[in-house]
Structure 1
Amino acid sequence: MIKKKIFYVINKLLKVRHTFNLNKLGLMFNTDKAVGHYYLPHYQHHFRPFKFKKINLLEIGVGGYEHPDYGGHSLRMWKSYFPFGKIYSLDIHDKSGLQENRIKIFRGSQVDESFLEEVVNDIGELDIIIDDGSHINEHVIETFKMLFPKLKNGGIYVIEDTQTSYWQDFGGDSDDLNNPKTMMNFFKGLTDCMNNKEFVRPGYEQSYYDKKIIAMHFYHNLIFIYKGDNDEESNLVVNNQRG
């Protein structure tokens, strides 16, 4: 009896320790973010400041395709990593059977604007959005356009599996890397937004992304986009004119 109690306590302590290590959590919950991809060290680096906050995290895509009882591995990982967070997801298939305390799943398309409005209205403010959905280039771009404005200042928007930017069957292109329809070309284009105060274009009017993208981090098949007030002035350009 005493041995069982000791084993139970040790097991609990190991689980608590693992909650600080996303890679170990990913392996524990068997998510492809740890197995097949190597995303979790990057996630840990970027998400560490949110760990003990009461956040709302939305992940697009539950996993498991059409099978109602498959998937949800990363949702359970996020729930364990963020002890005070609420985890939400959406999928085109019915995954309601995978819901549990602090995990809620909506059914619908990631490019259905009215559906996304309903989801955001239900959740409230979003701190983190992760697109691990269809990976179709057009879908990724359209979803970003609809959901990035719903992200809180100080929040992070993540796009996974950007390799499909180069695959034709997902609307990608390996031959023309400047193809405006690919997600990588779209997001690379947004990097200039951060430096819009340096443009020498008198009368230039800032776009929403000029005002709200403050940092972008590109990794192998993974992008992190930080939202905030991009109000740092140029030290040489005033009103998009050089003196």
Structure 2
Amino acid sequence: MSQMQLSKKTEGIFHLVNKYIYRKDLVKLSSLYDNAKWGETHRFAQHYQKHFSPLRLKKLNILEIGVGGYDNPKAGGESLRMWKQYFPKSMIYGIDYVDKKHFEEDRIKIFQGDQSDEYFLKKVVSEIGDIHIVIDDGSSINEHRIKTFNTLFPALKEGGIYAEENIHISYWPSLGSKWSELAEKSAFLANCVNVGGSLDLNVSNTIMAMYKRLADGLNYQEFLNPGYCPSYFDKNIVSIHFYHNQVIVYKGNNNEGSNIIENNTIRPYILEELGVESLEDLGLEFPKSSQ
């Protein structure tokens, strides 16, 4: 065995030992798998450590969208292996548009399909069964991510966590036909050119816009809007955590009432304190839409 081969073997053993030593520390563990994704640029691991550490030793079904490596069927897979190491009793599932079954192994299973295809996602859910954590690091197209959330969040178990990475695409508008032609030659360029974000922070069709609305929904019982009909997400999201380029959502029963509002109208004793007999006496103009 040459000196170079011996050095590589020693380095490989050292790498494996470190993965075992740091198996409880997601920040250090992540740097051993894919530093390009988990290094200083993204800073995701520190937040996942905070939210996932209480669940580390539980038996979970974890689904990550986006295996990595773009259109190369033998590139990527680092995140799946990292989650397998961090969650020693859990089953790790992946979804990718490209066939990435090359990375399947014990406790890792990969589905090939389009994350914007509701039928495909529901088929995945039916095969997995209970899903406890979803991590979306897939398509860079806002519309795809929104469709995925609308399909998979309802499939989460009570107490489940939905994590969204790379929120920056909310702020990137799609480019013109000149760049679209270039994007046909590269999956990476396609991810940059066709995202469907906007320079306008007040638009309604981006990932971030969706999460801003969902944040309002946490307080739906405080809405002064008679006849308001709470959405599924109003009633089943209990917290949303915003970080740079990342959002983490907890599923639960959002039924905590209000001291002042009941059924989206002011409680009678408050009206009495205001010196009026009905809500109409306040002269307010309520939203025409219930949503």
Instruction: Give the shorter-chain TM-score range.
Output: over 0.9
Looking at CA atoms only, which structure, 1 or 2, has the larger radius of gyration?
Answer: 2
More displaced 10-residue stretch of structure 1: 12-21 or 193-202: 12-21
Matched AA of 1:155: G
Matches of 1:145 and 1:31, distance apart in 2: 31
Matches of 1:111 and 1:68, distance apart in 2: 20
More displaced 10-residue stretch of structure 1: 201-210 or 12-21: 12-21
Question: How big is the alpha-carbon RMSD for the aligned residues of Structure 1 and Structure 2?
Answer: 1.7
Partner of residue 40 from structure 1, selected from 27, 45, 49: 45
Matches of 2:106 and 2:198, distance apart in 1: 41
Q: Is the 8 A contact 1:136 1:164 kept in 2?
A: yes
Q: Is the 8 A contact 2:60 2:91 kept in 1?
A: yes
Matched AA of 2:26: L
Matches of 2:96 and 2:123, distance apart in 1: 14
Matched AA of 1:232: E
Equivalence for 2:33? 29
Closer, same or farther in 2 for the Cα pair 1:183/1:14, shift >3 Å? closer
Equivalence for 1:5? none
Matches of 1:54 and 1:47, distance apart in 2: 13
- In the TM superposition, 1:10-89 aligns within 5 A as 14-35=18-39, 36-89=41-94
More displaced 10-residue stretch of structure 1: 115-124 or 12-21: 12-21
Partner of residue 99 from structure 1, selected from 97, 104, 113: 104
Q: Deviations over 1:93-145 (max 9, x none)?
A: 01011111000000000011111111111101100001100121111111111
Matches of 2:29 and 2:244, distance apart in 1: 21
SS in 2 for 1:152: strand
Cα distance, 1:12 vs. partner? 7.2
- In the TM superposition, 1:167-178 aligns within 5 A as 167-169=172-174, 170-174=195-199, 176-178=200-202
Equivalence for 1:151? 156
Closer, same or farther in 2 for the Cα pair 1:31/1:93, shift >3 Å? farther
Matches of 2:23 and 2:106, distance apart in 1: 17
Q: Does 1:205 align with 2:229?
A: yes
Q: Does 1:189 align with 2:213?
A: yes
SS in 2 for 1:87: strand
Matches of 1:162 and 1:20, distance apart in 2: 27
- Give the number of aligned pairs: 235
Matches of 1:46 and 1:60, distance apart in 2: 19
Structure 2 unaligned residues grouped into runs of 5+: 1-12, 175-194, 268-291
Partner of residue 233 from structure 1, selected from 257, 264, 273: 257
Matches of 1:31 and 1:125, distance apart in 2: 31
Closer, same or farther in 2 for the Cα pair 1:14/1:67, shift >3 Å? closer
Matches of 1:204 and 1:144, distance apart in 2: 23
Cα distance, 1:236 vs. partner? 1.7
Matches of 2:251 and 2:56, distance apart in 1: 18
Matched AA of 1:99: E
Equivalence for 1:4? none
Q: Does 1:108 align with 2:113?
A: yes
Matches of 1:117 and 1:208, distance apart in 2: 18
SS in 2 for 1:29: coil
Q: Is the 8 A contact 1:51 1:81 kept in 2?
A: yes
Matches of 2:28 and 2:16, distance apart in 1: 15
Equivalence for 1:214? 238
Matches of 2:124 and 2:18, distance apart in 1: 35
Cα distance, 1:31 vs. partner? 4.9
Q: Is the 8 A contact 1:31 1:73 kept in 2?
A: no
Q: Does 1:130 align with 2:155?
A: no
SS in 2 for 1:119: helix
Partner of residue 121 from structure 1, selected from 106, 119, 126: 126
